[in-house]
Amino acid sequence: MLNLHSSLNATTVAAGESFAVATIVGTRGSAPHPIGTSMLIHEGGRITGALSGGCIDAAVHAAALEALAQGTSRREHFGYSPDDPFAAGLTCGGEVDVHIGPFGADSPMHGLLSDFAMLPAADPVALVRRIDAGSCGATLVSAPATQTVPSLATLLAPLVGAPAGALAAGFCLPLVAAGRTGTIRLDREAGFPGTELLELLVESRLAPPRMIVFGANSFAGELLKLAPLLGYATTLCDARSAFTLQPRFTMADEISTRWPHDYLAAEIAAGRVDERTVLCVLTHDPKFDIPLLALALGQPVAYVGAMGSRTSHESRLRALRAASVPEEALAALHSPIGLDLQAGTPGEVAIGIAAEIIAARSPRATGSSLSSTSGPIHGQPPGQCSTETASGHQLKREVPSWT
């Protein structure tokens, strides 16, 4: 449901109007959207959001109106049938499971969605929802990164019952605290003190990851325009204030005129650089690049890239080796920065850099044209993995596009 945040407003969730929430809770093969993607279907038929490119949305809409009329939640499965011309399905060949929960005019979900809609877009937040048969309750969790098992158990108690609060919190906390999305199944084998199966959908987002761009030039300006589309909060850093403070860079969330390596050292000391941080060194000047890269390559960040020709790259490597940067750290440097798109303009170069950053998120990314590869286009959703719980049940986790 986190995908609906920008679409929600007071009118959308106004009390006095019944609505249903349809959510993707399982995927197999190639699917248009990941687990957690939701749309609202209002009692009058109006829709907020979408679950696909249109291939199943009409069928989900009809099922949601039926669920509203009956007042009970349901699960629907959609695949692809080449033999039934009237079947709703995914033409991409994948399969999805959709949970549809109806909420009446006096449902607490109105207040929950209203509170959610009022949050700033970048605020960390988590939603935990019941998606087992016949259930559709939800809990809003603020400050997900600071939650503990006891605090989360208190929030989950109204959703799962007080006796199961701590058990559910123990399974949910890794997803909530890490900003991940996934489903959790609890039953008696897992220690659930009830006879029925309990299934939860956990959606969590942390504060946006950071992209720090060093060097105030045309390439930086274009990259700063693209960064919000990838979900990054941006900083532009260049010690030359005459360049940095130009109006064309006002799209950056933060601007610093400190020396790049001094700025990065201060951010590291303050705990504002983490494993999701992206560092793009576009200064193309050794007096800035070498001390900055010597520091950056020792950090557990997501990506470090540096602009320059292949000649500049070889010269840069010699200088970094002279500064005692280990070979394994040098191997993590993306230089020359960006994918080979034969880019010419600053905008095209920025697209190549952005594409390489996206590719660096997944070990499965090849950077090749899809027409030249084979196999599933999406395969396993990015960041999704499965681990066995103590009861032997699968805990499915997913990282949704770094948002």
The two tokens of residue 229 are 């589309």
Q: Would you call 176 helix, strand, or coil by DSSP?
A: helix
The residue behind tokens 């700025």 is: 263
Q: Three-state SS for 111? A: helix
Q: Taking each helix axis from N to C terminus, what angle separates 286-296 and 260-269, rounded to the nearest 10 degrees?
A: 20
As given in the structure block, the two tokens for residue 203 are 């959606």
Report the alpha-carbon distance of residue 183 to residue 198 in Å, rounded.
11
Burial of residue 356 (number of CB atoms within 10 Å: 0-12, 13-18, 19+): buried
Strand partners, 210: 233
Q: Check residue 51 and report its DSSP letter.
A: S
Pairing of strands 394-398, 181-186: antiparallel
Q: CA-based angle 203:209:211, to the nearest 5?
A: 155
Report the C-alpha dihedral over residues 164, 165, 167, 173, rounded to 10 degrees.
150
The set of residues, in sequence order, having a beta carbon less than 8 Å from that of 55 and lying 6+ positions away, is 32, 88, 89, 90, 91, 92
Cis preceding linkage at 336, omega within 30:
yes
Pairing of β 181-186 and β 95-103:
unpaired
Q: Could you tell me if residue 183 is left (phi over 0), alpha (psi between -120 and 50 degrees) or otherwise beta?
A: beta
The confidence score (pLDDT) of residue 379 equals: 54
Domain layout of the chain by residue ranges: 1-108, 119-207+388-403, 210-360
pLDDT tens, N- to C-terminus, the chain (403 residues): 999 988 887 666 666 789 999 999 998 877 778 899 999 998 888 898 888 766 788 889 999 999 999 999 999 988 765 554 434 555 556 788 999 999 998 888 988 998 998 898 889 999 999 998 788 899 999 999 999 999 999 999 999 988 889 999 999 999 999 999 999 988 766 666 666 788 999 999 999 999 999 999 999 999 999 999 999 999 999 999 999 999 999 999 999 999 999 999 999 999 999 999 999 999 989 999 999 999 999 999 999 999 999 999 999 999 999 999 999 999 999 999 999 999 989 999 999 999 999 999 888 888 888 888 877 666 544 434 333 333 334 444 444 333 3
Alpha carbon distances (Å) from 176 to 26, 140, 179, 286, 367: 18, 11, 6, 42, 31
DSSP string, 279-309: EEE----HHHHHHHHHHHTTS--SEEEE---
pTM: 0.76
- Determine contact, residues 313/333, Cβ cutoff 8 Å: no
Q: What pLDDT was estimated at residue 195? A: 61
Indicate the fold that domain 210-360 takes in CATH.
Answer: Rossmann fold (3.40.50)
Residue 386, burial from CB neighbour count under 10 angstroms (0-12, 13-18, 19+):
exposed
Query: What was the pLDDT predicted at 310?
Result: 93
Residue 84: Cβ within 10 Å count: 9
Q: Cα(193)–Cα(257) distance, rounded to whole angstroms?
A: 58
C-alpha angle 31/36/41, rounded to 5°?
95
Instruction: Cite the DSSP H helix spans in 108-217.
Output: 109-118, 149-160, 162-178
Collapse the DSSP code of 355 into the 3-class scheme (helix H, G, I; strand E, B; otherwise coil) and give the result.
helix
Using DSSP, state whether 228 is helix, strand or coil. helix
